[in-house]
Structure 1
Amino acid sequence: MTRRQLRSNFEPGTSRWAVRRAQWRALGLTDEDMEKPKIAVVNTSSELSICFSHLDQVSARVKEAVRAAGGIPFEIRTIAPSDFIISAGRAATYILPSRDLITNDIEVAVEGAQLDGMICLASCDKTTPGQIMAAARIDLPTLVVLCGYQASGKYRNHHMDIEEVFLHAGHHAAGKISFEELKEMSENAIKSPGVCSGMGTANSMHSVCEALGMALPGGAPVRAMSEKMMDYVDRAGHRIIDMVWEDLRPRKILTPGAFRNAAATVLAVSGSINTIKHLQAIAVEAGLDVDVYRIFEELSGEVPILAAVRPIGSNSIEEFEDAGGARGIMKRLEPLIDPSALTVTGRTWGEELKDVEIADPDVIRPLDKPFGVKPGIVLLRGSLAPDGAIAKVGLRGPGRPMSFDGPARVFDNSPSAEAALKEGGVKPGDVLVLRGMGVRGGPGMGGASRLVFALDGSGLGPEVAVVTDGQLSGLVNVGLVIGEVKPEAFTGGPLGLVKDGDRITIDIDSRSIELHVPEAELAARAEAFVQKPLSAEKGWLNLYGSTVTPLEKGATLIGK
């Protein structure tokens, strides 16, 4: 392979060369080492969460592979945000902004040091998009290693995972199960390191990463620390060195066709709605004029649901992996995807899919025998959401409402809504408006999932609707819930003008969400609207809220 000049190799005798040589010789590197490709191993290890607890072992294995392939690995650390842990503070508003901290952490370390390539260890929800955003921004040869999902357990002979614990916490709040039952569930839900075992945001983003071409094909999803995963780790450590010499950069991979492939993959598994804003953010960082929301709208009429993994169906993530995983989905979608899109292997998806076979056609179904022909992710527009909103409806079973019409009950924070529910203040037919939770209103996007699960536990889930500018857990799949309403209430969007008793109509099939208030009245409310100051007066969330772009631009900190 032709060798090229590496940017990490400075001119001998210069001050940059001299001080770097002094530093790195003190670390044990030789002059010969310093001529090799220098690879950042981006590690999000943390003792705060089981999602990241195994990454130090993965990092050590990656570094061995990089050395064996003729490179020099340098491990760098970023924040490690776990939704179930970091969500405890400020109504979960630290979660989304942590994604951008990861991106900026990587930029500072890798660009500041002028390294030659990156291997990113992806785990929980925000690590994958944050890492790919950084790769797109600095456009340096990058390969993402998907670090696997956790094993689930059993509770009284029933499957038990973290999603079930989250859901049943709402049932406990409603008095439907005892504290002891919930406690026992939590003790049996997680049996190994790794991300949540359903098709939530983490496994959805791992599949997105593969479909974008940023991970070695065939690695999503994967059992954490399995022999298969560690084989991919070894292959990644060797492949990144070739990518550096080939100068295969993310912007050659992250094309408009790659984003269509990723969107089609998400729709085919009815994955997490959070993938949409993350894909939009990656497109922005890559400098692409791509409207990911419109891509989802366009493809939702073409792409059926080909896999029904928990929470939308009964299949486990293990069954999905064994059947073929994300690569199997792309094989089924072959007539609908862009086969010319590149992957980190240097081969196109057309080449990669040529010999792929589906191990279980009952788990990953063909296009003509899907689990469902109607989209499980629906983007709605209307007078309440002129810039769009998202519903995750999954498989549309009989008896589940796909339209709703009722009076608004307005809450400016989640605790007040939960208190009203507990006190009997929520009635069948209500449309619960939970607002002030957008990227600026949070700031950082508050989570509405706890309220949704509490409603489900109370038995009111099918009898009320929820509309919010906040975000929803990638595992949410109960009730009629509309999230990420745009423009958000904080900026004076229609959601911020709603009053108790206003009639709201939601129709999934017509993809509409309407606020029935006369135009003159709504205009008067808009005229009287006064934007509140950011609720975070200092620190990271204040900085984030002051600089973040709207969701339709990816909620990034650039391109405002």
Structure 2
Amino acid sequence: MTHLRSNMSDTSALGIARRAQWKALGIGADELTKPKIAIVNTSSDLAACYAHLDDIVPVLKEELRALGALPFEIRTTAPSDFVTSVGRAGRYILPSRDLIVNDIEAVVEGARLDAMICLSSCDKTTPGHLMAAARLNIPTVVIACGYQHSGLAEGREADVEEVFLLAAQAAVTGEARDDLAELADDAILGPGVCAGLATANSMHIAAEALGMAVPGSTPVRANSERMWDAVRRSAAALMSAIENGIRPRDIITAGSVRNAARVMLAIGGSMNTIKHLQAVAVEAGVDIDVWETYRELGRQTPLLCSVRPNGPRLVEEFEDAGGGATIIRELLPLLDGDQLTITGRTLAENAAGARPADGEIIRTVADPFGTDPAITVLRGTLAPGGAVAKRPVPDTGRKRFTGPARVFANREEAIAAISNGRLRPGDVAVIRGIGVSGGPGMGLTSAFIFALHAKGLAQSVALVTDGQFSGLVNQGVTIGEVSPEAAADGPLGRLRDDDVIDIDLGAGTVDLLVSPEELAARAPFAPPADLDTGGGYLDQYRELVQPLACGAVLCPRPSSACHPGTGEASLTSTAATAGGTR
């Protein structure tokens, strides 16, 4: 066994105090020299996502003890997009990711534990666990704890995302939906994350593509035998990594991040994976522009599946066809197969054990569902730092939109404009000032997009925002996460009503047709004076959060992989290039 940083002499004050503490917990003196493992249980009674995690802990403890380790369960904050998005207009959702990272650091580094095994569930937990692993650089395995069984999988009408969409549309149209309560009661039939390739399952698969989860473990039904098999294999992999000195920064490299981006493009994963993978790279000190990587690889990566919300297939069908492991196997000619994984084997060696594509649920590289990127990264004079759109699989929708801007301070104002006539077909709705700093924490605009759908305007009104929207949204021309954001004095902040915006999804551009001289002469964006942040964590977050080019991490180290040169600087420092005509 390699040297363990947790071992302390009984003659030291801290060492003898630790012995006294642990003796009171029933830990014998013979166990004090064993590897001390943090079981990171990001759990909560608030949401079904986490309902089974507490049951995994005792099984995992038993496995680790049998392998010669001393496990300790630790807890972190546990956000759920459907539950903890109520207060402050959903602004806590993204910032909670970084709370998870800091929770882990405070306990694991404070106690100087030797390794971590992370129980990943809802959207922000997997990126938080990967970021913490990269920051602390101690042997770590991520366990994807599975997705929930739904009424939809039983051949009935809805899962939780479908219920959410129907309810949002009914709220806008005023339509009486007496069946919503019944649908909600039937939507979730067991624990786990939302079914489909939204952020949670996407990030689970990304962890496997990075090499930080054991092969063949994503996506997986919660509490299934495959999940329990992954739990046992993860314990063994972690002990092997400790023995062989394999650390996250040996695994998380520019090559593995690029692999994960390629896999996300091939499955049509969540657009949120861009900023999360960028944050992981920043914490690992890996110099890669993930936004540009998605942009570059998007037009070189075949779409190998068409799973909800992108297409008609269920995630259960995708898992049964081989899931992430089969995607990696099929993509291997386009991946860096020599990248190390937590198993001690390379990505290519792991992929050799995966089943081949069935040609129906998962297609081959030679016969894909399409080649248009499901995640489209755009750049241009309105978004020199980048912006992102999500598209269906296959993509048969509108790809070009040019129209006058209608500027709104929040989604409620924009929704009202649909009914009061201010917003008309051909317009580009701009909801700004809700980015990572301006929000703070990225405001949600999904309700506005659902309102467009409900009113039949999804194809005739475009959206541009520095906020974010749900992975359910992949119809119409919807552009999110514009960077630099308005609050950073990006071009979006100086845009006015009637300015013409030109969006070309095929070319990957989003331009503001205003001269740079005129744009520079305008007053910068002024945040609303009455923004409700509660005077607590959100205010701290606003002061510390870095731009999306840095993955929206909090105060990165000077060596971190941030790319302000691609457009995150303020308008005043880039006046010569921030505006223009085409």
TM-score, normalisation: structure 1: 0.96
- Give CA-to-partner distance per residue, 1:90-126, whole Å, 9 cap, x none: 1211000000000000001000001111000000000
**Which residue pairs with 2:408 in the alignment?**
411
**Which residue pairs with 2:238 in the alignment?**
240
**1:15-164 paired onto structure 2 within 5 Å:** 15-154=13-152, 158-164=156-162
**Which residue pairs with 1:295 in the alignment?**
293
Aligned partner of residue 334 in structure 2, secondary structure: coil
Matching residue within 480, 484, 489 for 2:486: 489
Matched to 1:279, the amino acid is L
- Give CA-to-partner distance per residue, 1:271-316, whole Å, 9 cap, x none: 1010000000000000111111111111112101101100111111
Matching residue within 360, 378, 382 for 1:380: 378
Aligned partner of residue 334 in structure 1, secondary structure: helix
Aligned partner of residue 335 in structure 1, secondary structure: helix
Contact 2:240 2:343 in 1 (8 A): no
Matched to 1:85, the amino acid is V
CA distance in 1, matches of 2:293, 2:137: 24
CA distance in 2, matches of 1:40, 1:381: 41
The change in CA–CA distance for 1:98 and 1:297 in structure 2 (over 3 A counts) is: same
**1:39-438 paired onto structure 2 within 5 Å:** 39-154=37-152, 158-175=156-173, 177-358=175-356, 360-398=358-396, 400-438=397-435
Matched to 2:543, the amino acid is S
Q: CA deviation at 1:158?
A: 4.4
Aligned partner of residue 384 in structure 2, secondary structure: strand
Contact 1:312 1:477 in 2 (8 A): yes
TM-score, normalisation: structure 2: 0.93
Contact 1:210 1:216 in 2 (8 A): yes
Establish whether residue 521 from structure 1 lines up as the match of residue 518 from structure 2: yes
Range with bigger deviation, 455-464 or 314-323:
455-464
Query: Identity rate of aligned residues, in percent?
Result: 52
Q: CA deviation at 1:535?
A: 5.4
The change in CA–CA distance for 1:261 and 1:24 in structure 2 (over 3 A counts) is: same
Contact 1:123 1:146 in 2 (8 A): yes
CA distance in 1, matches of 2:33, 2:379: 55
CA distance in 1, matches of 2:499, 2:85: 31
**Which residue pairs with 1:454 in the alignment?**
451
Aligned partner of residue 40 in structure 2, secondary structure: strand
Contact 1:155 1:185 in 2 (8 A): no
Contact 2:157 2:183 in 1 (8 A): no
CA distance in 2, matches of 1:172, 1:472: 18
The change in CA–CA distance for 1:424 and 1:168 in structure 2 (over 3 A counts) is: farther
Q: CA deviation at 1:173?
A: 2.0
Range with bigger deviation, 150-159 or 238-247:
150-159
- Give CA-to-partner distance per residue, 1:362-405, whole Å, 9 cap, x none: 1110011100111111111111111111011122444x211111
Aligned partner of residue 29 in structure 2, secondary structure: coil
Matched to 2:290, the amino acid is V
Q: CA deviation at 1:191?
A: 0.9
CA distance in 2, matches of 1:441, 1:43: 31
Contact 2:100 2:128 in 1 (8 A): yes
Unpaired runs of at least 5, structure 1: none
CA distance in 2, matches of 1:166, 1:459: 18
The change in CA–CA distance for 1:350 and 1:434 in structure 2 (over 3 A counts) is: same
Contact 2:214 2:237 in 1 (8 A): no
CA distance in 2, matches of 1:193, 1:350: 33
Contact 1:328 1:357 in 2 (8 A): yes
Q: CA deviation at 1:504?
A: 1.0
Range with bigger deviation, 357-366 or 271-280:
357-366
